[in-house]
Structure 1
Amino acid sequence: MARSVDDLSLLLPLIAGPDHIDPGLVPMPLDDPKAVALTDLRVAFHSDNGIITPSPETAKVVRDAAAILDDRGLIINAVRPHGIEQSYDLMIGLLSADGGASIRRLLQDAGTKAHTLPWLGLAEPADATRFDALMLKWSRFRSIMLSFFKDYDLILSPVNAFPAMLPGSSGADLEAFSYTMAYNMTGWPAAVVRGGTSPDGLPVGVQIVAHPWREDVALAVAGYLEKALGGFNPPPI
């Protein structure tokens, strides 16, 4: 969404809050990332979600980020959320429950004829019984994740199992995206910053997840890590 965390912090107040169009927007206060005291924030970090093991450089970037926060005085614990191993199967089940009809409609409305969404081939319409079971499983997943999060202020993890894909890649290894799928389903705010570079020169990201309505905490920690890890590096032209 932006090249730097400062840009995100500038943009967020402009797009936050009710617009009298989107019924899903909630009139919650938006706190200032600059007012967040980093010391003593409790951080749970993991480099492997139990679904797909990340590349060595991806895991190292997350560990390095955790070490930087530890040096800053945050309380770091190497642990992953209970039940996060369910996130990939659950997300694919939810996305494909309508047989891919909603995504195909969006693509059609946008005039997109060719696409790179391989999971559409996996889409299988769900009957009422299966759909009800999916909704129940989703609710339980969010409850389990929330119960885990009560002991922490942040979750630190990979963004993807691998470094950024080359332009034109299709992303056929869908499980690699499960690191963000988990938080798509909880709805928690998350920030992503560049944490390192692969041997091929591709960026490797770090994901910082905060509690509901605590975008300020996510941005505050993201901004600190961005400065410590180097942030955006323009590619040679």
Structure 2
Amino acid sequence: MRLIKLVAAIFGLVIIGVVALIIIDVSSYFGMLSSEDPVPQTYQAPSEANITLRSDIVFLSASEMAKKIREGALTSVEVVEGHLSQIYAFNPQVNAVVTVDAEGALERANKADQAFQKGKLWGPLHGVPFTVKDHFSTQSIRTTSGFGPLADMVPENDSTVVARLKEAGAILLGKTNMPPLATCCGTTNLIFGRTNNPWDLNRTVGGSSGGSAAALATGMTPIEVGSDQGGSIRIPAHYNGIFGLKPSEHLISFYGALMPGMDSLIPKMQELHTARHLIHLGPMTRSIEDLQLLLPILAGPDPKDVDAIDIPILFPKPKPLKKLKIAWLKGLPGQFVGQSTDKISMASSKVLNNFVEKLEAASIPLEQRKLSSEYMNRARMTWGSLVSMEYDFFAPALLRIVESVTGNPYAVFPYSYEKYQYLLTDRDRLISHMDEYMANFDALLLPVTLDAAHEHLESKFENGMLANLMENITIDGQEVMVAVAELSYPILFNLTGNPVVVIPAGFTESGLPVGIQVVGQRWRDAELLVVAKQLFEIAGDFQHPPDYKQ
């Protein structure tokens, strides 16, 4: 029974890959691909002669870019050209951006400048460029999800997050890399290859929004949007030294982020909604001010996603520092897939302790807290079981669609409505406990993972899916499974639905960035961002990686 429970905890991470293989017969495709680390696919980069080299532009925040465009200090064309130049110069070594729409971006930038000259502004992001994870559908621009059979898929519609950014005046530059179907750890796939950490090219960017984080860190984009089912926004933010927000559950519409591009192949695909209790979409940036700018743009109800909720995003006046109530955790106890989860690396512990000491020196009330092993073990088991169960329910509907299209029936996963109801009830209990735990605090601080970014693992693919989850890495001389090192802390808040901001907090002695999770009360995302900004201004440490200025 114990073994079954351990397997269930990781089953949720691989079930997506199983479902993906049900969708399409991929045997002929994968027979042609045998390289473990394929050469990244090239893109049509703009000619150097047509690019304005403006490295002073690309490391501005999105808020600063928007302000300068509104004031006439910069044109949208200058800003877009500067980012295209940055991609052209540095993407070959980092491999963060996998599809570039230079022509479309420049055309829209010209229109933005023409509108500005006529006294018209499209919105708060007028003329500001952005990229998105290749998980999101983009109209007339290929959307692969890092999965071979979708390599040439071109969606007919934008996802809601892309549409809302465009409505706010932003300009789409391109798409960023991800592991196949947002599964597993790290960012590599058989279409585009591996993304490298800009702080150390021999290290991982994390996943699954790894291309997003690397593009932000290197000035290839000021705005990104990621998805997070078990840390996929927070881990890359931590590993690459940027900011990321996993919002409260259902705050941002999920439409167009299921299996992008598949709506063109299977029209009813977008009607299906998997893991609806665990996946959260959120912005990634180089400043908290940009997270505050983007959240009201991205959040809100959507007729295409019945789960998307309508909660006003209102930023309160900051509290006096002495009236803040901050809790912090050195680590999270218990076990995950049979290994202990409380062995934080000495380097990460040092950064967290320094962060807390700076807050204490500023007279901010802090209280060191704990969560019980029993609670954490239950939460991790419920997370893994709920992921697998929701994909079990998803499978029969998907199989009926596939059979109607291909005439090829497949076996249906066994599932139980009673078991599903039990898991949801168990989740409710865990949420209630966390609500009570957080009730008297403005924020909770804790590590993101057990360590800073580890060295690249040898990429292993099984049927096109990345299969490194059970590999070991070394932390302070001890072998630790990747799943334990990276997932055992973030997944709690996917289960409970609490908003979490990752802020850069410091660096290891070897120069790798370390982030901290700042957790807020459910549905109080705006309040959380205000508090996180206060804490960051006192104790945070954001820097650009060296050697990425032209």
TM-score, reference length from structure 1: 0.78
Name which of 435, 439, 460 aligns with 1:150.
439
What whole-Å deviation, never above 9, does each CA across 1:37-94 have from its counterpart, x for those lacking one? Answer: 1431211110210031211122222222222223333321100245234332221222
Task: Give the letter aligned to residue 349 of structure 2.
Answer: A
SS in 1 for 2:514: strand
What whole-Å deviation, never above 9, does each CA across 1:124-179 have from its counterpart, x for those lacking one? Answer: 96544443332232121111111222222211111112113456674542123222
Query: 1:131 aligned to 2:448?
Result: no
Name the structure 1 match of 2:318.
36
Q: Is the 8 A contact 1:193 1:225 kept in 2?
A: no
SS in 2 for 1:7: helix
Name the structure 2 match of 1:118.
none
Name the structure 2 match of 1:92.
384
Assess, with a 3 A threshold, how the Cα gap between structure 1 residues 98 and 6 changes in structure 2: closer, same or farther.
closer
Q: How far apart are the structure 2 equivalents of 1:93 and 1:15?
A: 30
Assess, with a 3 A threshold, how the Cα gap between structure 1 residues 128 and 152 changes in structure 2: closer, same or farther.
same
SS in 1 for 2:285: coil
Q: How far apart are the structure 2 equivalents of 1:96 and 1:152?
A: 33
Q: Is the 8 A contact 1:99 1:125 kept in 2?
A: no
Q: Which runs of 5+ in 1 are unaligned?
A: 106-123
Q: How far apart are the structure 1 equivalents of 2:414 and 2:363?
A: 49
Q: Is the 8 A contact 2:438 2:520 kept in 1?
A: no
SS in 2 for 1:29: coil
Q: Which runs of 5+ in 2 are unaligned?
A: 1-283, 335-340, 399-412, 460-467, 471-481
Assess, with a 3 A threshold, how the Cα gap between structure 1 residues 126 and 67 changes in structure 2: closer, same or farther.
farther
Assess, with a 3 A threshold, how the Cα gap between structure 1 residues 101 and 40 changes in structure 2: closer, same or farther.
same
Q: Is the 8 A contact 2:351 2:508 kept in 1?
A: no
Q: Quote the offset at 1:199 in angstroms.
A: 3.1
Query: 1:55 aligned to 2:316?
Result: no
Q: Quote the offset at 1:15 in angstroms.
A: 1.1
Q: How far apart are the structure 1 equivalents of 2:369 and 2:520?
A: 15
SS in 1 for 2:446: strand
TM-score, reference length from structure 2: 0.36
Name which of 171, 174, 189 aligns with 2:483.
174
Assess, with a 3 A threshold, how the Cα gap between structure 1 residues 20 and 130 changes in structure 2: closer, same or farther.
closer
Name the structure 2 match of 1:159.
448
Q: How far apart are the structure 2 equivalents of 1:219 and 1:78?
A: 21
Q: How far apart are the structure 1 equivalents of 2:542 and 2:506?
A: 10
Q: Is the 8 A contact 1:159 1:207 kept in 2?
A: yes
Assess, with a 3 A threshold, how the Cα gap between structure 1 residues 86 and 74 changes in structure 2: closer, same or farther.
farther
Q: How far apart are the structure 2 equivalents of 1:138 and 1:92?
A: 12
Name which of 353, 362, 372 aligns with 1:72.
362
Q: Is the 8 A contact 2:498 2:521 kept in 1?
A: yes
Task: Give the letter aligned to residue 87 of structure 1.
Answer: A
Q: How far apart are the structure 1 equivalents of 2:501 and 2:363?
A: 20
**Structure ranking higher on relative contact order (CA contacts 8 Å, 6+ apart):** 1
Q: How far apart are the structure 1 equivalents of 2:394 and 2:514?
A: 31
SS in 2 for 1:179: coil
Assess, with a 3 A threshold, how the Cα gap between structure 1 residues 59 and 171 changes in structure 2: closer, same or farther.
farther
| Percent identical | 29
Q: Is the 8 A contact 1:87 1:178 kept in 2?
A: no
Q: How far apart are the structure 2 equivalents of 1:46 and 1:2?
A: 25
Q: How far apart are the structure 1 equivalents of 2:517 and 2:300?
A: 24
Q: How far apart are the structure 2 equivalents of 1:202 and 1:102?
A: 40
Q: Is the 8 A contact 1:41 1:153 kept in 2?
A: yes
Assess, with a 3 A threshold, how the Cα gap between structure 1 residues 66 and 10 changes in structure 2: closer, same or farther.
same
Assess, with a 3 A threshold, how the Cα gap between structure 1 residues 161 and 126 changes in structure 2: closer, same or farther.
farther
Moved over 6 A (4+): none
Q: Quote the offset at 1:102 in angstroms.
A: 5.7
For the pair shown, the structure with the greater C-alpha radius of gyration is 2
Name the structure 1 match of 2:430.
141
